[in-house]
Chain A
Amino acid sequence: MSYKTLVGLEIHVELMTERKMFCNCKNEFGAMPNTNVCPVCLGLPGALPVMDKEAVEYAIMAGIAFNCEIDRTIIMDRKSYFYPDLTKGYQISQSDFPLCKGGFLEIDSEEGAKKIRLERIHIEEDTGKQIHTDNGTTLLDFNRSGVPLIEIVTKPDINSAEEARLFLEKLKNTIKYIGVSDVKMEEGSLRCDVNINVIDEENNIKSNISEIKNLNSFKSVVKAIEYEEKRHIELLNSGKNTEKETRRFNELTGETILMRKKFQASDYRYQFEGDLTPIHLSDDWIKQIESSMPELPDQKKKRFIEQYKITEYDASVLTQSKELSIFYEELASLIGDSKLAANWIMTDVLRRLKEEDKEISELNLTAQSLAELLNFVKSGKINNNTAKKVLREMLETNETATSIIEKHGLIQISDEDELERIIDEVISENQQSIEDFKNGKDRALGFLMGQIMKKTKGKANPNTANKILIDKINGN
């Protein structure tokens, strides 16, 4: 039997607004516990919420970026449950009327471009944080209470762990582009739950949906999906089935563990939040937000292909992260050569990033410092191979290209008289190769150029040297 995996994701993203969603407290990560709190976000008796405009604006930006339909009326609901980090006994969220409906995000899957459809994006407030101490007491920090969140819910369009990873990468990247969140999973500004089951369409057999929580990295998401896929298939193959349940991913073992069974859907007794009257959004405001939106990854990719005449593959890689795309554009403009810039980033820079698992901003490299190096290449003062060596040293020592080149005396020998002298030496020492070349063995030329480079410690200007060499052989 062949099974198809169906994965739907629920993603919470904290919005990087100046203030919290319903009060004037600062929205910042890492402050001293319970310093950014007030009667409203502490849920003190009598305190009332007032909607923060920026939170709505950011959520709308996300909706636009994910191609959603934006509702023109914001209706908030109370979602009731008791938990120590929830200050009011209900969370202000959205139930029947999410701010953004539908939408999609396109990923470059193994089988080509694929649209992952979204169910909805709604806005809600974050809860406080529980800190369990060693002596068994639980401390509560309400700095996060009332921080604005968007919850993005996908349709079960994701069919593999790899697709889930690609989707999350693209989602993270897109949100970074529009700048509404720093989307750091390790700081909790991006959180993801997985809903998964498998289906044998031919025989109409399917497993019950498991919900997986406690996923702290994209790697965990991938591992959890792979683990669950296997578990679901094995159970079905042995004539059993999974149960509707919530499971927890254990990072150490790579397994999922039962948290609780879902005998029936949780009853959150949603109720209209009368403290916040419905807010009507004008078309003008939405248009204004739309027109002030930064360029999105797909738009930028298209532009790069047209403007910089680079390949679709290069454009797609260079726009994968906002920082990288900015780096590329700066570099291309500084050196006035978009292809050279693309080549260098696609090879040497990206290799380095991959090796060290870093972001471009974490390297000892700016577009300016790389441009300085590449200008040496462009003007023929150093050759490509030398430049690669210089780049490595730049990354390690954080020195400028100029100082490294000067320190090691790497400027190419372009002086024809000096080159002629060296080439004459090489010719006289390698008569056999000259004969070979004359007899049509092109390889011999490479060997001779190698000898020239050896004598000049790689500093010979390859173009000039090549020309002199051929002239001399032919002239002989």
Chain B
Amino acid sequence: MDITSLKSWELREKILKKEISSYEVTEAFLEKIDEVEDEINAFITIDAERALESAKIVDQKIMEGKKVGILAGLPVAIKDNIMTKNLRTTCASKMLEHYVPPYNATVIEKIRIEDGIIIGKANMDEFAMGGSTETSYFGPTKNPRNKSVVAGGSSGGSAAAIAAQEAAFSLGTDTGGSIRQPASYCGVVGVKPTYGLVSRYGVVPMSNSLDQVGVFGKDVKDAYIALKSIAGFDPLDATSSKKYSLEDINFEEISLKGLRIALPKEYDELRVEGDQKIREIFENKLRVFENNGAIIEYVSLPYLKYALETYYLISTAEVSTNLSRFDGIRYGHRALEYNTLDELYINSRTEGFGEETKRRIMMGTYALSQGYKDEHYKKALKIRTLIKDDYDRVFQNFDVILSVTSPILPFPFDSVINSPVDMYKADTYTVPVNLAGLCAISVPMGEVDNLPVGLQITANRFNEKKLFTAAYGYERSAK
């Protein structure tokens, strides 16, 4: 039995039935890491010793017949922008190369309560900025499905860790597609929950009004279990919802019958060059929904066409302030040479941040500057509201919206990293979801040129139940 190839929900049952121990499972995944990691580079830091220790404790609990958490001793990979106490957390940046946090993010506390085993810290684009994990200070992550292409980003390490069977689940963060796009590229399931469903406390923000912690799994049920373990109100995060949590779902009862699906017309106008083959698969897969009784209709979201510009104005503006605390004073990289206080700041930040990070800080600073703020940042905030209104209107009559996750295939290394605007365009279908604070999932829908492509399902705020219904209904029927 290849333990690492099993779905997490299968492993979970075996552990609970004492057919296999958490220790054995953890060991198997660590062995897999040893085997593939040199090539894949999904991890920045691996925490084998403590992982095995934790697994022993869970096994002990099971032996003693005590209640065990939902993650039941399964190994989890954590994106390296999520604070793990006493375990280095770098944000894939030279700035935090040696940073060991003194506290845990709330999601980490929850994972520990639910008996998840933290196996290591996953690679990512520096400070979550990028769509290929190529901006990582620790080198890019290779796509396990085809090592000559990128794993996507910014949560590329978290997606690759699942595809390469290096972890049972993983956590990522999604600001404009950073979970869904790598999930699509690596052929795994990735969920970006509703803004406010999961605590952001202890998660290094890129754009705090857009960021949300989410999960990766081999299939929809795996993703659900992972999300269940971290969702819920957190008094330490003022933006987390008191009112909503992740509902229980009985997967056996799920049906696509009567599911109301919307297809935004505007997506046709926003198509990018060379997406023909991806588009064909998508149209093919629509039949899976129709054949199972779903109703599909075209709708209009007129403001979608401004989503990309709006996203880059708001996100970079927030980046510029969110990254201000990395100043070389209290922690992180400090330049060795400086004569004045200003030089200390400038040299530390110049040396500590990579190119893409600096580019976005500059764009954001510009967008917020006097004389530009009204026509850039403030206007973007207004359009964001209009986009939200568009979605609200659609969700009055529909359950989910379908689209491709990414209009472009996983690309070869160094191919787009030097043309940022092209790279930004790949986010066309994913960013509106963050602007409106909705939830979305990417599920594998097939292959083009032997590379995985993903289907994106979007549901209304705090309607994760519909999201999982559509995703699981599709996954089961598409087999």
Contact = CB atoms under 8 A, between A and B. Distances in A.
A269 B239 contact: no
Contacts, number: 99
Contacts of B89: 45
Contact of A46 (B202, B235, B318, B369): B202
B83 interface: yes
Contacts of A272: 381
Interface stretch (B20-28, B40-48, B69-77, B321-329): B321-329
B238 A267 contact: no
21 contacts: A39-B202, A44-B101, A45-B96, A45-B99, A46-B82, A46-B101, A46-B105, A46-B200, A47-B202, A48-B237, A48-B239, A50-B236, A50-B237, A80-B368, A88-B325, A89-B324, A90-B321, A140-B330, A269-B365, A271-B368, A274-B209
A51 interface: yes
Given A45-B91, A46-B202, A271-B377, A276 B325 contact: no
A473 to B, nearest CB: 87
Interface of B: 81-83, 89, 91, 96, 99, 101-103, 105, 200-205, 208-209, 235-239, 317-318, 320-321, 323-327, 329-331, 341, 345, 365, 368-370, 373, 377, 381
A267 B370 contact: yes
B201 A89 contact: no
A438 B102 CA distance: 97
Tell me the dominant secondary structure on chain B's binding face. loop
B16 to A, nearest CB: 33
Contacts of B203: 46
Contact of A50 (B102, B235, B318): B235
Interface of A: 39, 42-51, 78, 80, 82, 84, 87-90, 140, 265, 267, 269-272, 274-277
A271 B323 CA distance: 14
Contacts of A274: 208-209, 239, 318
A44 B236 contact: no
A269 B208 contact: no
B327 A82 contact: yes
A48 B236 contact: yes
Contacts of A82: 324, 327, 345
Nearest to A81: B324
A51 B96 CA distance: 28
Contacts of B377: 271
Contacts of B102: 39, 44
Contacts of B208: 274-275
A33 B237 CA distance: 27
Q: Which of B89, B238, B345 has the most CB of A within 10 A?
A: B238
Q: Which of A47, A88, A265, A267 has the most CB of B within 10 A?
A: A47
A80 B319 CA distance: 12
B325 A43 contact: yes
A87 B330 contact: yes
A42 B327 contact: no
A47 B324 contact: no
B262 to A, nearest CB: 28
A146 to B, nearest CB: 13
B200 A48 contact: yes
B83 A46 contact: yes
B410 to A, nearest CB: 29
Contacts of A48: 200-201, 236-239
Contacts of A265: 370
B366 to A, nearest CB: 10
Given A274-B239, A274-B318, 4 more contacts: A45-B326, A47-B202, A89-B326, A269-B369
Given A45-B99, A267-B370, A271-B377, A78 B321 contact: yes
B229 to A, nearest CB: 19
Contact of B238 (A44, A78, A276): A276
B365 A89 contact: no
A339 to B, nearest CB: 56
B96 A269 contact: no
Contacts of A267: 369-370
A48 B203 CA distance: 9
A265 to B, nearest CB: 8
Contacts of B204: 45-46
Q: Which of A48, A49, A51 has the most CB of B within 10 A?
A: A48
Nearest to B370: A267
A45 B205 CA distance: 8
A324 to B, nearest CB: 42
Contacts of A89: 321, 323-327
A272 B326 CA distance: 20
The 9 A-B residue pairs with the shortest CB-CB distance, nearest first, are: A89-B324, A274-B209, A269-B368, A46-B202, A88-B325, A45-B204, A267-B370, A43-B325, A46-B83
Nearest to B205: A46
A270 B96 CA distance: 27
Contacts of B235: 50
B330 A42 contact: yes
Nearest to A275: B208
Given A87-B330, A269-B369, A269-B373, A275 B325 contact: no
A50 B203 CA distance: 15
Given A45-B99, A78-B321, A274-B318, A50 B238 contact: yes
Contacts of A275: 205, 208, 238-239
